[in-house]
Amino acid sequence: MNEVLERFKALLDETPGRLNRLTESEAEAHPAPGRWSKKEILGHLIDSASNNHQRFVRTQLEPQVSLPGYKQELWVGAQRYQQESWKVLVQAWEGFNRHLLHVVSFIPESKRANLCSIDGKESMTLEFLVKDYVRHLAHHLSQILE
């Protein structure tokens, strides 16, 4: 878990400056029809932070929880990330993720094996959820910054 926390912290230390160097027009350009813009990808990461915040906290509180999934296309569309300021999106993403790093840094070792089922699927440990979140975050950040 320490490796994952270090990777998460490194992403938060390295990425905001790089994101802030992108212009509004670069952030809102769609790379191809039907593909998300950088704004929409970052919005998706804000949604992911929101959903995972619930998972990380609730799964610490019970030995096993069942939580809903989320329909990413609908969430991104409903929140109109494309019309939001890039600067506001970067600030929201960074702030939420700095809080998540704080939350996951204090998960007791005894709670890491607690189970969470998402959208009725097979249960996963809290530790797996945290590791998967950081992997997902790094993947989408690389799409934005490539």
What CATH number is attached to the domain comprising 75? 1.20.120.450
Per-residue confidence in pLDDT tens, the chain, 146 aa: 999 999 999 999 999 999 999 999 999 999 999 999 999 999 999 999 999 999 999 999 999 999 999 999 999 999 999 999 999 999 999 999 999 999 999 999 999 999 999 999 999 999 999 999 999 999 999 999 98
d(CA 121, CA 10): 31
Q: Pick left, alpha or beta for residue 125 (phi over 0 → left; psi -120 to 50 → alpha; otherwise beta).
A: beta
Token representation of residue 83: 């019309």
Token representation of residue 42: 């970052």
Amino acid 89: pLDDT:
98
CB distance 60 to 111 below 8 Å: yes
Give the domain extent around 13. Answer: 2-145
**Helical spans, DSSP H, in 37-80:** 38-61, 72-79
For residue 125, list its beta bridge partners: 115
d(CA 64, CA 83): 39
Residue 61 CB coordination number (10 Å): 9
Token pair 């300021």 in the structure block, residue = 85
Amino acid 146: pLDDT:
85
Tally of domains within the chain: 1
Token representation of residue 128: 């797996």
